Amino acid sequence: MSCFYFLITTAYPELRLITIDSNQLPVIEWQNVRVVTTETLAKGYGASMKNIQDNLANHKARFIEGIHYFKLEGNELQQFKRVPDNIRLISKYISQQILWTEKGAARMSKIVDTDEAWAFFEKMENAYFRPIQYQKTLPGNYIQALEALLESEKEKLVISDERDEAIRTKSQISRTREASAMGKLSVATRKNRELTERLGESVKHATITAVKNATGKEYKFAPLRKWCRENQVEANEVPDIRYGQVKSWPAESWLQVYGINLKSFFANSQRIH
């Protein structure tokens, strides 16, 4: 297993550095968000700066300014340069500067698509983008978001049942209408199950975050991706409150790679109580 560590140091006075493997990442913030430079991504991902820049140009539709990256020019660039620590990181002669957010760095690692890029982002995600106190609250927030969505669907079913019951107490409902009501309930139940699966927690597939929350253990994506490639199986893309979308890995890959039987953890999440 690849090891990494992070260390805040003062190699330069007041300049905070976080070391990941042999790479030193200066701590940079813009608009109260931690960001990294193109140079940092290039070094960590084993690519050239031109490669990162070309990827941004060629996949412009997949990157949103202000969400995945900041492009500093004019007054904003001058404001950035006026921070003493920042002026040490960039040339004073440049006319623009790209700063990558956590979401942008994640998306770029997918485009570079090498084990080195994926692994470095994972280390950077834990050590750089997320302070320890944020890491402690994130699993709870993810679970709360999932539970809130599922609870909303269940409440809709309860309301639907109560409405149908009121109709039945006022008049006799024909067998045909009862069958129709049951059909609607069945559709709602399926929608509830589909919602759970889209969120990456089901007996068919699950995200790394969902399994981590269920087991309390850490898992790497690379072995799962390798198994899927070798067996010509596609992982699902599901919504994620942090990145927009993430991979939800097939049940068979979890079983073969990590010995995890998803039915043991998520079977109950697909039942309506």
Q: Nearest-CA neighbor of 207 among 168, 241, 165?
A: 241
pLDDT, greater one: 206 or 157: 206
Minimal CA–CA distance to 119: which of 212, 257, 110?
Answer: 110
Whole-model pTM: value is 0.46
Q: What is the DSSP letter of 31?
A: T
Residue tagged 């993430």 (tokens): 246
The pLDDT value given to residue 130: 77
Highest mean pLDDT pick, 11-20, 84-93, 119-128, 174-183 = 119-128
The overall average pLDDT reported for the chain is: 75
